[in-house]
Structures are given as C-alpha cells and as structure tokens.
Structure 1
C-alpha cells in the first residue's frame, strides 16, 4: 500500500465519531467528551481527510452518517470494544500483582478439591495472597455474610438469597461395607443393604440427604452410631462396626479392607462456589472464580475424573 493511502486514524478520532453519532451533534458530543466543539470538529475533519471520504453530513438538524459512515461506524465500535478489552486485560494483570483471595470450605472439598486448584492459581498469580479456612457449610455462609471470606465452597442448593452460587463439581454418595468373607454384589439392591446398621454423620447436611433418599424409596434405615468425624466413620466400618453412606470425597482415603459400592439408586451432592450477592469483588477474586468454573484464563476442566 502506498504511503499516501495509509490511514493514520487514532482511537480518539473514532471515539469522537461514535460520540457525535450517539449524541446527535458536535456540541453535545463535545459536552459528553468534556472538550470543545472545535476540537470535535477538528477530529472529525482529520478523520475524513485521512480516509478521503465524508462520514457525516452536517445540517441544521445536527450531524448524520453518510451510507459509508454507517459502515465505518460498525468497524469503529468493534475497534473501541477491542481497545476496552485490551485495557481490561492490562488492568487485570496489574491488579493481580497484589490483592488477596479468602476462601472458606467444608472439610472434604478443602482436603481433596482445593489444594491442586490453589496451586494452579498461585502459579498463574504468584503475587496474590490466598488463604483457605476450613468451616462447616453453615459457618461458611456466616463468614461470607460477615465479610470474613470472599468465596465459599458449600454443598448446593443453599436457601440464602444473599448468595450467588455456581456448581463446580459433583460427588457421589457411596456405600462403605465392612470386611466380610461373603462376596458382596457389585450392583447392590435395597435388599442387600437391609441387614446392615449404619454409622452416620452427627448433624451433617449429607446425613439428611441420605435419610431422605432412603425414605423416598420406602426403605428402613437402621442407625448404629452417629459420629462427628468422617475419618472415624471410615475407621469404624473397617473394624466391622457397621456400614456407612458417605460422599466419596468425605470417605477417601478408604482402607483396602472396606468394600465400596454405589447405591441401588444413585445419589450425588452438588458442590458449589458461593459469593455474597451485590458486592463488588476484586479482580483476584473474579480470577479465582474463573478457575473454579473453568472460565476466563482457565478454560480447561478444573476437576479430574478421579473426583467424579
């Protein structure tokens, strides 16, 4: 392309063009851009001179686009949108040179899901401070509402209207059966489970889910013990003190002697990320949410198949 035909338009000229079109006149555009009307006129004149074409027709009713101007306007807006995206990426990168992300999670997700994700986040954003606090799900909600954490990892759904949530993983409830010389079928029936007494969580949300699941299928659920710690439940099963139904993440590591089976009718818990609604979060927090959801700069699936 010859030097004389090269276009040296700049971003400010395109901004002026868009403003004149949006506000209908040079004077109104100047007011919105906080500049003089003569500066707006010079910018449009320079742009038209560089393009060698008339983009706006002037009249007593204001400035109107020519047919060519309408086509140029479409491209101008795309260029300005691209410039905004570039500015945002630069702002995001600079913002990620500092800041912090405070995460609270229930134990099994904190143990098995979050550590590899936090490691990945630290590699991508080494200057962001990130802290993880282990709390019960209701305590995670309270910490969010009180502003003590930015992101909570909780079982879904949550009843609070103050929270915005996203599903990030699913965790199968599995049956843990004590060691026995009698072979256990790979596919259990309710009849297979009827002889067992079960060791349950004490005051845990997943206990309610298990009880409701049994009731929905008209089955009797015999309880032998109610225990606070999932590791204690697994240990008791391995000693032949009863069976258990736990989310897989809560059960692992599972001793080799314990037999693991799926329920006769599958049951899952949904694990989600939660933030307080109507709060302006920092770029660091939004970037960690992208990691949890597999969006933005983290487009690959976050959770490996071993957690499915």
Structure 2
C-alpha cells in the first residue's frame, strides 16, 4: 500500500476547512487535485475516509487523520533537524593585506567553535567590497575605507620589517627619519598614501627606495637582505621568516581597518568577535 504525504495533507485540510475547495486554497492546490488525493487515499485503504454529502470524516477517516497528524508532525521535526545540521556558510570579502593572517586566524577560531561552519573568502579592492556587500554577494567586508553600512573600526599598526643583520634590528623602536636614511620599501596599495600622510604629520618625507605590490614582497626582500620595509601588522605572515625581524616605529603609525556587515546572523556576529580579538 502506497500512502503519500500529499494524500495525508489533503485529508487533514478537508477535515480542518470543511470543504474540498477551501482545503485546496489552504494547500495551494485545485479543488480537483485535493479530491483526487483523497480518492487515491481511499483506494489505498479500501474504504471511504470522508462523507461526500456533508463533508466530514468517516470512522476510518478519523483514525487515519489521527495517525496522519502524528506522521506530518514527525516529518516537520525531521526537517527541523536537517536545518540544524546544515553547514553554515559565511562569505567574507577582504583587501589583500587582511587575507594574509588576519582573516585566516579568525576563520580558524570560528571553525574551532563551529566545526561544521564553512567560510568562503574573496579578495577585492575597497570599492568592490562595499558593492559586493550592498548586493548580497558577501556577508562581511574588511576594508581600509569607511562605508555606509554598520561597521567597527580596528587599529592596524605599521611596523618596520628589517633583515636580522640590519642596523634597525638592534633598536627597540625605529625612528621614521632613520628608516628613510637606511632605505625602505613601500608595500603598495593603500598603505603608501597612509604612510606618506603619517610621515608628513611627523615632519618626515616618505621617500621609499622601492615600491612593490604587496607585503609578501616586502618580507621577501627583507629576508634576502635587500632592504628594510614597512608593513601593517595584520598583513605580516605568521611565522615570519627566520631572517626577518619587525620593530615598532617611533612615533607610532597606524591605519584604520573597517568591518562592514548588515546581517545579524550568529555566524557573522561570532566571526566579528574573533576578528576584533585579533
């Protein structure tokens, strides 16, 4: 005997609404579809479940309806369990420097708390990331520029990245003018303008000997003993190459990093908490 969920739903709807027409409206089906479903159920059971003259359950129909309610309640419970174990997916967009260690560290922490969680990361420029957030492509954006959405602001310190045998490696803090005199590499992107502004505010002209495309190149050049560089702390690899050391600048310089998010999903909130404890 094959009894379907659709047949049980039709039976219960007819009993609740008192007519095939209203049952069909409640279920989003036609009156004839509901009638056929009930007829098919009666054929499978070998007897009538509904009185046709004054719509109501027969004795068999009442018994079947009791079990049907239990079956459908059980199915809803099972579907709810499936939703609970569904893998949560968080889509995070970030500027390149945030994807070196800042975002990956938060991903590791989130997956320790929620082993089934999945985080997808996309790299983009500031304006791209804000557009992706606005159109729902990503759930959270990490940028170096402010935007219109809810946001939190983090302070990301600039550090001198120097070879182990570099004169600056023997200093507790590296003065800005001294770093320029010894030679320095600019990590590129939005860091250059931020460094130029910070150096100028302290009476020092930002005159790098090299301008590269990313922090990894700065670290590689320092590891090879070519030059010192400056990089934001969140973009530095962990661990650093053994031939490289980092030192704070004097005076201290930093940039702002913005977290943008519109959703109140638990995954987003929890991930932001891990980012802000970096």
TM-score bin (small chain): 0.5 to 0.7
Q: How far did 1:124 drift? A: 4.7
In structure 2, C-alpha distance between the alignment counterparts of 1:200 and 1:206, rounded to whole Å: 8
Q: Any conservation in 1 of the 2:95–2:142 contact (CA below 8 Å)?
A: yes
Query: 2:101 aligned with 1:112, yes or no?
Result: yes
User: What residue is the counterpart of 2:136 in the other structure?
Assistant: 147
Q: Judging changes above 3 Å, is the alpha-carbon distance between structure 1 residues 129 and 186 closer, same or farther for their aligned structure 2 residues?
A: closer
Q: How far did 1:126 drift? A: 5.4
In structure 1, C-alpha distance between the alignment counterparts of 2:246 and 2:158, rounded to whole Å: 10
Q: How far did 1:242 drift? A: 2.4
Q: Judging changes above 3 Å, is the alpha-carbon distance between structure 1 residues 245 and 119 closer, same or farther for their aligned structure 2 residues?
A: closer
Structure 2 gap ranges (5+)? 1-80
In structure 1, C-alpha distance between the alignment counterparts of 2:193 and 2:119, rounded to whole Å: 33
Q: How far did 1:131 drift? A: 1.8
Q: Any conservation in 2 of the 1:104–1:140 contact (CA below 8 Å)?
A: yes
Q: Judging changes above 3 Å, is the alpha-carbon distance between structure 1 residues 218 and 112 closer, same or farther for their aligned structure 2 residues?
A: same
User: What residue is the counterpart of 2:269 in the other structure?
Assistant: 290
What's the secondary structure of 1:195's corresponding residue? helix
Between the two proteins, the alignment pairs up a number of residues equal to 196
Query: 2:252 aligned with 1:266, yes or no?
Result: yes
Query: 2:185 aligned with 1:199, yes or no?
Result: yes
Spell out the pairing of 1:1-308 with structure 2 (5 A cutoff): 97-98=85-86, 100-122=89-111, 124-125=113-114, 129-155=118-144, 157-158=145-146, 160-161=147-148, 163-167=149-153, 169-180=154-165, 182=167, 184-202=170-188, 204-252=189-237, 253-276=239-262, 281=263, 286-294=265-273, 307=278
Q: Any conservation in 2 of the 1:173–1:262 contact (CA below 8 Å)?
A: yes
Q: Any conservation in 2 of the 1:96–1:125 contact (CA below 8 Å)?
A: no
Q: 1:9-67: per-residue Cα shift (whole Å, max 9, x none)?
A: xxxxxxxxxxxxxxxxxxxxxxxxxxxxxxxxxxxxxxxxxxxxxxxxxxxxxxxxxxx
In structure 2, C-alpha distance between the alignment counterparts of 1:258 and 1:122, rounded to whole Å: 30
Q: Any conservation in 2 of the 1:96–1:127 contact (CA below 8 Å)?
A: no
Q: Judging changes above 3 Å, is the alpha-carbon distance between structure 1 residues 176 and 229 closer, same or farther for their aligned structure 2 residues?
A: same
In structure 2, C-alpha distance between the alignment counterparts of 1:190 and 1:240, rounded to whole Å: 20
Q: Judging changes above 3 Å, is the alpha-carbon distance between structure 1 residues 132 and 250 closer, same or farther for their aligned structure 2 residues?
A: same
Q: Any conservation in 2 of the 1:113–1:303 contact (CA below 8 Å)?
A: no
Structure 1 gap ranges (5+)? 1-92, 295-300
**TM-score, normalised with respect to structure 1:** 0.54
Q: How far did 1:109 drift? A: 2.6
Q: How far did 1:291 drift? A: 1.2
